[in-house]
Every structure is written in C-alpha cells, then in structure tokens.
Amino acid sequence: MRTSFVAPAAAALLLSLIPAGPASAAPAADTAPPRLESITLELPSVTVSGTQTRLVGVRVRLTDETGVQPIEYVAGQELASPRLRLNASWNSLVLLRLTEGTDKDGIWTGKLPVTSAWSGAVQPISIYAADQTYANVLNTDPRTLVDTPSLQVQSSHRPGLDMTFSPEPAPAGKSVTQRVRAWDTTTGKPWANLSLRLSSDNGCAEPGNIATVRTRADGTYQRTLSAAQRQWLQCVWVPGVDQPALSYPNTVIASDGGHVRTQRYAVSATPAAKSAPVGKSVNVNGSATPLHKGKVMQLQRLYPDKTWRKVSTAKVRDSGRFSLAATPPGKATYSYRVYAPGDSYAVGGVSKAFTIRGT
C-alpha cells in the first residue's frame, strides 16, 4: 500500500496557523544576600584559667535562594565564608561549616576558642556570608537582625609576655640577644616551663617558620639572633587549641612582638627664660630625632626624692620640633629635662638637664 504524505502535511499547515502561546518567563535572578535566621550558643557561660582552651559550639541558621557558598580562610585576605566575628581581642574570627540541612537552608556550626584572653560578655558583632554567585554578600552586625546570645567568660591566670633585645640600639652588623619573659598576670610570679612559639617576618602573620620552645625555671627564654636574623620582625606567643575547622590563624592566648631598634631618640631642649614668677609658665622648645610626627614628649621635673616625674606633655610637630610648658611651683630653683619614651621607632632618650628658678 502506498503511503500518503497529504495528511501529515495538512496537519503541519494547521499547526503553523495556530497562534503561539506566551513564552515561559525566565526565573528571576537572585539578587538577595544570604539571610540570617538565628544564632545560638552551646553554653551561656564558661570559666577558663591559665593556658586552657574551651571550645564552645555555635550554631547559625542561614537561608539563601541559590545557596550559601563555603570559602576557606586565606591568610592576609580573610575571605572565609560564612564566618562570625566576636567582640574579643584575640581569636575573634570563627569559621562556620554546614552540618545540618542544605546550603539553601541549613545549620552552619563552629567552635569558639575561649581562653584566658577573654573576659566578661562576649558576643558576635559581625557575620559574613556569600552566596553561590559571590555577588550577593551578607556582611552586617547580627545584633540588628536576630536575638544574639552572649557568652559570659570568667578568666584568670592569663600568661603575660614581654620580649626585649640586647644591646639596643643594636650596633651595625652585630648579633643581639632576644629575651622573652613570661609571668602569671594574676599572681605576678614567673611562669616556668611555659610552651612558647617563636617566629619572624612572614611567620608572624602566615603559617610556617615556627620554633617551639619552653621557658626556664625563672620564666625566661633567650636566644641569639644573628645580624641577618635581627633585621626582621620578631614575635612570640602562647598557643591555645585551634578551631577544628580553622587551623590558622592560630589560637593565641598572649603574644608580643617587635623589631630590633637601631636608633635612640636624640633630644634637645632649651627654656625660653631662666626664671619666672611662681605659677607662670616658661616655654621649653626643642627637637627630637628620628622624626616621629605626633610623638608625645614628656617634660620631667626632678623631685626631692631624686626621681624624675612627668609634669607636662606635648606632641612633636611636622618639623620635628615641640614646645612644652614648665611652671615653677615655688620660690626655688628646679631641674627639668625632656624625655622621649622608647617606641617601635627608637630607644628612649632624654635631653640635658636645665634649671628654671621660681621668683
């Protein structure tokens, strides 16, 4: 039997004459950032002492149409997502990871590394979360969105650290001694056999180049830095227990750091008058090098117990000069000097002493 193509052709013609229906609308693009639904803490309070770390769980519910994107922490960028930041001076960043639900509606959890560096009420003050497109970001204070819990921290016996170098100012091309002193900030006693981490340069801000040492019976540790080593930033810290999901930045309980200084402040000071009526001020003008604009200079007076005490202050101007006010308190001759406290720029220095007589 011969096959006829008439019917299919007619059917095709008929379909071509039927008006087409409206095209399906494309889904609207997601332009909203992730939404914070809730924050809860595992505990309302915690007690820590010494070198302890208590890991306290935090749960955050986030929702998003396209899904929340987990991003790992990168040193120097802090693009980790999602994350919480707390009003704590140390270990304030907490990385969150999905443990329940989905990236569109899920519970993201982390561990707060509570140490003796924390005290009082600690709570989240910032939340950051990016969606799958990276274009929509939640970056705000969670206290403006949901009821935000606080963790009451009672702490004691935090280690204290102090790092010094000798000699300073360091002679050119010579090695120096790096000395670390550790003590119990509650009792003031030296902290013997305390585990420390030492590093330098990039190792103070990034993983790697870390030495593990312990303090001696007197709470100190020291080592020699060569002329090549001493040019870099040096740092020391007492480690705590790191967050399970965030091995860096390390949990730090106490720390200190600085550069070996190669200069001492040179200070000159001259009073505008040798004498003044009691209670009247005499300008003391001078300069300090190296130049540190805004540095606070101290005018000191010699007291009867042979100690120099601060009586007034002034800041170094752009020119490197300063002006202080000396006010003789009685009818006598008083000895004064100007002191530039040591800082990260240079070792402290003083001017020659001078006298002003009260009349």
Q: pLDDT digit string (tens) for 175-210?
A: 999 999 999 999 999 999 999 999 999 899 887 789
Residue 321 has pLDDT above 60, yes or no: yes
Residue 339 has pLDDT above 60, yes or no: yes
Residues of the chain with CATH 2.60.40.10: 35-156, 159-258, 266-358
Residue 41 has pLDDT above 70, yes or no: yes
Residue 333 has pLDDT above 80, yes or no: yes
Architecture label for domain 266-358: Sandwich (2.60)
Cα separations in angstroms, 255 against 182, 248, 289: 10, 16, 29
**Mean pLDDT of all residues in 31-40:** 95
Q: Do 225 and 235 meet the contact criterion of CB atoms below 8 Å apart? A: no
Locus of tokens 């106490």? 254
Q: Based on DSSP, count helices (H) and strands (E) in the chain, helices before strands.
A: 1, 28
Give the Cα-Cα-Cα angle 7, 12, 18 (nearest 5 degrees): 125
* Collapsed DSSP state (helix, strand, coil) of residue 219: coil
Given this model, what pLDDT does residue 6 score?
A: 40
Given this model, what pLDDT does residue 278 score?
A: 96
Given this model, what pLDDT does residue 206 score?
A: 82
Q: Do 120 and 72 meet the contact criterion of CB atoms below 8 Å apart? A: no
Distance of CA 258 to the CA centre of its chain: 14
Nearest to 42 by CA among 111, 97, 125, 108: 111
**Mean pLDDT of all residues in 277-300:** 96
Q: Do 220 and 196 meet the contact criterion of CB atoms below 8 Å apart? A: no
Q: Determine the Cα–Cα distance for residues 16 and 188; give it in Å rounded to an integer.
A: 93
- CA torsion through residues 285, 291, 294, 296, sign: negative
Mean pLDDT of the chain: 91
**Mean pLDDT of all residues in 279-283:** 95
**What is the pairing mode between strands 137-140 and 124-131?**
antiparallel
Tokens of 247: 């091995």
35-156 fold: Immunoglobulin-like (2.60.40)
Given this model, what pLDDT does residue 248 score?
A: 80
Given this model, what pLDDT does residue 31 score?
A: 84
**One-letter identity of residue 245:** A
pLDDT band at residue 17 using 50, 70 and 90 as cut-offs: very low
Given this model, what pLDDT does residue 219 score?
A: 98
**One-letter identity of residue 201:** D
If one looks up domain 159-258 in CATH, what number appears?
A: 2.60.40.10
**Tell me: the pLDDT tens digits for 69-83?**
999 887 766 678 999
**Tell me: the pLDDT tens digits for 111-151?**
999 999 999 999 999 999 999 988 899 999 999 999 999 99
**Mean pLDDT of all residues in 207-227:** 95
**Mean pLDDT of all residues in 27-36:** 83
Given this model, what pLDDT does residue 27 score?
A: 56
Given this model, what pLDDT does residue 1 score?
A: 36
Cα separations in angstroms, 252 against 193, 197, 204: 17, 10, 12
Dihedral of the CA atoms 210, 211, 215, 221 (nearest 10)? -100
Residue 11 has pLDDT above 60, yes or no: no
Residue 247 falls in which region: left (phi positive, over 0), alpha (psi -120 to 50) or beta: alpha
Percentages helix, strand, coil for the chain (3-state, rounded to 5) are 5, 50, 45
Burial annotation 261-291 (CB, 10 A radius, 16+ → b, else e): beebbebebebeeeebeeeeebebebbbbee
Residue 30 has pLDDT above 70, yes or no: yes
**Mean pLDDT of all residues in 288-307:** 96
Residue 155: other Cβ atoms inside 10 A: 20
Q: Determine the Cα–Cα distance for residues 127 and 8; give it in Å rounded to an integer.
A: 64
Main-chain dihedrals φ then ψ at residue 298, nearest 5 degrees: -115, 130
Q: Determine the Cα–Cα distance for residues 166 and 129; give it in Å rounded to an integer.
A: 47
Given this model, what pLDDT does residue 18 score?
A: 46
